[in-house]
Amino acid sequence: MTEIKKINPLPFLSTLEANPEKDEWIKQREKELAEQAAKEAAYQMQKSVESSGVPRRYWHVDFDTYISRNEKDLKNLETIKKFTSLDNNDKVLILLGAKGLGKTHLGSAIIRNCGGKFISIEELIFKYESAQDFHAKTNREELMVLYSSTKMLVIDEIGGSIQQEKENALLNYILRRRYENMLPTVLISNLSKADLLKKFGEAVLDRLCETCISLEFEGESYRTSIRDVNL
Q: What is the CATH number of the domain that holds 143?
A: 3.40.50.300
Phi-psi region of 88 (alpha: psi -120 to 50; beta: other; left: phi over 0): left
Average pLDDT over residues 201-224: 82
pLDDT of residue 25: 77
Based on the fold, state whether residues 211 and 102 are members of the same structural domain: yes
Whether residue 152 sits in one domain with residue 63: yes
Q: Are 57 and 121 in contact (CB under 8 A)?
A: no
Return the pLDDT at 229. Answer: 43
One-letter-per-residue 3-state SS of 116-155: CEEEEHHHHHHHHHHCCCCCCCCCHHHHHHHHHHCCCEEE
- The boundaries of the domain holding residue 39 are 23-52
Strands 185-189 and 92-97: parallel
Residues 143 and 212 in one domain: yes
Average pLDDT over residues 159-183: 94
pLDDT at 158 over 80: yes
What digits encode the pLDDT tens for the residues 35-48? 777 777 666 767 77
Burial zone of 211 (CB within 10 Å; 0-12 exposed, 13-18 middle, 19+ buried): middle
Higher pLDDT, 151 or 28: 151
Number of structural domains found in the chain: 2
**Per-residue confidence (pLDDT) for residue 180, from 0 to 100:** 95
